[in-house]
Each structure stands twice: as C-alpha cells, then as structure tokens.
Amino acid sequence: MSELTLLSENKVAGGWHRQFKHYSNTLNCEMRFAIYLPPKIELGHRAPVLYWLSGLTCTDENFMQKAGAFKRAAELGMIIVAPDTSPRGDGVPDDENQAYDFGLGAGFYVNATQSPWQQHYQMYDYIVKELPDLIEAEFAVTPQRAISGHSMGGHGALMIALRNPRRYSSVSAFSPICNPSDCPWGVKAFSGYLGDDKTNWLNYDSTHLIKQISHHDFIPALVDQGEQDQFLTAQLKPDALIQAAQLNNYPLVYRSHPGYDHSYYFISSFIDDHLAFHAEYFN
C-alpha cells in the first residue's frame, strides 16, 4: 500500500477537505486525490463513500471547489473522494498536439492496451481497485460505496457501476457521455487507448452494458441532463442510453432540465439531489 502525503487541508461544513498525493503502482506515476470527511468522522464514526469522477480537462479540484456539496454531505454523513482524471507527471505520454480530449486530463476511465498509453493509462483498475483499497485502508469508511460523475466522468461512473454492480449501492451522473463508441470524443479516445477493434470498445460503453446486465444485478441509477447543453446531440447522446435501458427494462431514472448547460452551474443546482439519492441506498 502506497504512503499518503498530505498536500492541503481546509475546514468546511464542520468537516475537513483534504488533498493527498501517493504513488500509484497501477498507473506507474504519482497521483493526487481529494477527500471530504464529514464531522462524524472526528466523533469516531465510520462513513460510506461516494466516488466522484470528473470530466475532460478536470483534476481532483473541480468538483470539490465548484459543486457546493459539503453542507449536504456533512448532514448525510457521507465521505466524498475525487480522484484525478488521468495519470500525470514526467514520462506520462500526452497527445502530441496537447488536445484537451485525449491524453493528460482525458483518461476516459479505461485500461489502455495500445502503445505508448498502456504503461500508465490504466484508469479503470485505479478507480475500481487501487484507490478504494487505499481509501479503505487509510480512512474510517464503511464497506458501502457509490459512484457518480460528470461528462467523461459520468461515462466512467455508469460504465464502472454496470460492470461492477455488486461493488456499488447506487450510481448517478450529470451529462454523461452515454454512447462513447459512437461519438467523436469516445471514438478518438477508444481508438487511441484500445485500438481499432471496436468489440473491445463495447466493454466501456454504458449503452451496450445496460442492455447486457442481468436483472439480478440492477442497481439504482440516476442521470440528470441539461437541455441547453452544447454537447448534448453530438457527444452525449442520452437517447441511446434511455432506449437501451428500456430494452432491458432497466429502471434508469432520467431527468431533463430546461435551460441548463454543461457547466458546474448545472451540477451545483442538483448535487443535493444526488447526494440524497445515494444516501437513501447507503441506508
């Protein structure tokens, strides 16, 4: 188990926001994550964990600084963990043109199989295995986990939950990339990280996975989408996910919100609903 180094801490909503770094054996580089510990932790209690996966260009800081989640998380007694969106550091490859949608900041939560990405870009294993093992060894957590995210992170949350339904009590997403094997962002990322065999892409596509999951493994799922989202039609494609869920009678809760866009203004408007949603299934 790697050693944690505290980078910063801030008292907030009666609890603590802390930022750590550690060496990841999965990603072969130093990684950073942020954690919110509600007040009940200092009173000697344990708490369930919500893992938040962020979107393209983001780090561990975006959600923690912009979502406004701490007060409700404190009330609900919930830990929030926000990892980075990709490996980083010297020797970690990036897009040759430093594009925002591939390479650093754009790991897409997959295990890369193609050179030169496979040495570091193993984000699926990091989120599903290494990071939870570290959190559960170092902090006062219960065995309960939920997962959520935004955009690329919404894709990651849905995909990871559908592939590992018994690891999570619930899943939610804001503006997720629902059908990444059939949108420009996803095609670019999957081609680079996974190669040209599109059958391998389907392992990371929630629209495909939600059609395949057994009824015995259904877990509660909530998706919120802004109707003025500039990426709605070309990149996010929620209709594909909705139709796939209906084919499998999956009880997906999908909410469409007039006027809202892709930003953290949207997330901060409905984050309390998502925290309450996860708390219901923790309990």
* pLDDT for position 176: 99
In one-letter notation, the amino acid at residue 180 is P
Please check the confidence at residue 229 and state whether its pLDDT lies above 80: yes
> Average pLDDT of the chain?
97
pLDDT at 101: 97
Alpha-carbon distance of 71 to 280, in angstroms, equals 17
pLDDT higher than threshold 70 for residue 132: yes
Block residue for tokens 């309390």: 272
Render pLDDT for 82-125 as a digit per residue (tens, 0 to 9): 999 999 999 999 999 999 999 999 999 999 999 999 999 999 99
Per-residue confidence band for 73, with pLDDT thresholds at 50, 70 and 90:
very high
pLDDT score of 181: 98
State percent of the chain over pLDDT 70. 100
* pLDDT above 90 for 81: yes
Q: Is the pLDDT of residue 48 over 80?
A: yes
Take residue 147 and report the two structure tokens written for it.
Answer: 């997962």
The answer to whether the CB of 78 falls within 8 A of the CB of 124 is: no
pLDDT of residue 2: 74
Beta strands 5-12; 15-24: pairing state: antiparallel
Q: Which residue has the tokens 């866009």?
A: 261
Q: What is the pLDDT at residue 168?
A: 98
Distance from chain centroid for Cα 104: 16
Element counts in the chain: helices (H) and strands (E): 10, 9
Q: Could you tell me where the beta strands, DSSP code E, fall in 65-192?
A: 79-83, 141-150, 171-174
In this prediction, residue 152 carries a pLDDT of 98
Residue 39 amino acid letter: P
Q: Confirm if 48 and 91 have CB atoms less than 8 A apart.
A: no
Average pLDDT over residues 4-23: 98
Q: Is 63 exposed, middle or buried (0-12, 13-18, 19+ CB in 10 A)?
A: buried
Please report the pLDDT score of residue 215 as a whole number. 96
Q: Are strands 171-174 and 252-257 parallel, antiparallel or unpaired?
A: unpaired
> Buried b vs exposed e over 203-237: b needs ≥16 C-beta within 10 Å?
bbbbbbbbbebeeeebbbbbbbbbeebebbeebbb
Return the pLDDT at 275: 98
Cα–Cα distance between 249 and 252 in angstroms, integer?
Answer: 9
The dihedrals phi and psi of 41, each to the nearest 5 degrees, come to -65, -40
Greater model confidence, 114 or 2: 114
Strands 252-257 and 221-226: parallel
Residue 147 has pLDDT above 90, yes or no: yes
SS3 content of the chain, % helix, strand, coil (to 5): 40, 25, 35
DSSP string, 36-63: EE-GGGTTT--EEEEEEE--TT--THHH
- Round to whole Å and give the CA distance between 208 and 162: 10
Q: How far apart are the first and last CA of the chain?
A: 30
- pLDDT for 148 beyond 70: yes
pTM score over 0.85: yes
Catalytic site residues?
A: 151, 229, 262
CA pair distance 176, 167, nearest whole angstrom: 20
Q: Residue 283: pLDDT band by 50, 70, 90 thresholds?
A: confident
The tokens describing 254, both together, are 């999908």
Which residues share a beta bridge with 147? 51, 171
**237-261: average pLDDT:** 98
Domains in the chain with CATH codes: 5-280 (3.40.50.1820)
96 CB neighbour count, 10 Å cutoff:
8
